[in-house]
Amino acid sequence: MPLKYVIPTAETFGKLTFEGKDREVTSGRSRIATGVVYNLLSEKQAELIEVQIPARAGSKTFETDTEIELVNPKLEPTGRSTGDEAIASWKLTAENIKKKGDK
């Protein structure tokens, strides 16, 4: 059975803080925006992580270091070839991003 995605818990990342917008993700020749990638700082992972939110969720602007929550996050396995080897990693996506405690 193939692994499609993993649903992380709050303990996976610990406290998440907003660090800023990274880039827009576009699709096709029309270059229509399909998503936005944001940088977050994870207390448990002790590093910056990227999360991709669909464009339909709208642009998010928070002050740097604002504690945030991810709405329905998913971790998807990814991989790419580097000649004779491969690099495996995870892609973090969520339906939305919000300030911790907001509805």
SS3 content of the chain, % helix, strand, coil (to 5): 5, 55, 40
Q: Which CATH architecture has domain 9-99?
A: Beta Barrel (2.40)
Burial 53-75 (b: 16+ CB within 10 A, else e): bebeeeeeebeeeeebebeebbe
pLDDT of residue 36: 92
pTM here is 0.80
Q: What is the pLDDT of residue 1?
A: 58
- Nearest-angstrom CA–CA distance, 21 and 78: 22
Structural domain boundaries in the chain? 9-99
pLDDT tens track, the chain, 103 positions: 567 878 887 788 889 999 998 888 888 777 888 899 999 999 888 889 999 999 999 888 899 999 999 999 999 888 888 888 888 888 899 999 999 988 7
